[in-house]
Amino acid sequence: MRIAVVTGASSGIGREFALQIPKVYKRLDEIWVVARRTERLKNLQKQCPVPVRIFDGDMQRDYIYERIEREMERQGADIRMLVNAAGYGKTGVFGEIDPDEQLGMIALNCHALTKIIQICLPYLSKGSRIVNVASAAAFSPQPGFAVYAASKSYVYSLSRALGAELKSRGIVVTAVCPGPVATEFFLRSGTLPNPFKDAVGADVKQVVRQALQDSVRRKPVSVYGALMKSLRIAARLIPDSMITEILRRMNKIG
- In the set 25, 148, 156, 224, the catalytic residue is 148
CA distance linking residue 75 with residue 49, whole number of Å: 21
Task: Determine the residue type at 209.
Answer: R
What is the 8-class DSSP label of residue 42?
A: H
The helix/strand/coil state of 225 is coil
- Helix spans in 96-225 (H): 99-106, 113-120, 146-166, 185-189, 196-200, 204-216
Pick from 109, 218, 240, 112: which is nearest to 172 by CA?
A: 218
CB 196 within 8 A of CB 249: no
Residue 88 annotated as catalytic: no
What is d(CA 236, CA 206) in angstroms, rounded to the nearest whole number? 25
Half-sphere exposure of 139 (CA within 13 A, CB side): 23
Residues with catalytic function = 148
